[in-house]
Chains A and B, each alone.
Chain A
């Protein structure tokens, strides 16, 4: 895109250059990347209005920072990077205000999956279909969002950071302000609850 390169060259020559016509257009960002950013945010926060706000914050943040966008990465990558920061800010705000889960007490939703001897009571069944192809189905998105929504904020954030972003555990501990041992418990609870919820509402085979 020669127009783009022209813009970058001009900005680097003079930071006060008014944005010219070929500059990246924020409304075009919304049109091209809005839905993808929204879905990405939804996987993390499981709440449509929060996800919408995060997309808005991301695009406004991008607008302010657009002169620092040197075009080294694609617009989508750049915007997703900003979104990830907004997600972390949101998680920090939300979890600071919420009481911590009682990690010493047993998690009843998990205890329900086992009998009194600690053996599965009817647990993990054979799944119909594969999670990778399930994302091609709009209804699966609804089910996944509802299952993620059912998790407490800290469990969901720990799960999303670890399973989607593959964030190192030390960083997640800092983000959520928990010890490593507590993070292991949060992750185990999130995984076990989410697996059961998805099985119950989507993957349970009919036979």
Chain B
């Protein structure tokens, strides 16, 4: 509990991965944040991931 409070009392440095709306919400509140342009491999297409894995091992 106290550790969490400590964290939020500090200057936060936030890197957002995933949904860009989280990044935009923080940005709208003028909080320093960067958005990492990350997507799941093959857009999460399991068939393609399996094909890629076969060629990468």
- A, B assembled together: no
Instruction: Report A's interface with B, CB cutoff 8 A.
Output: none
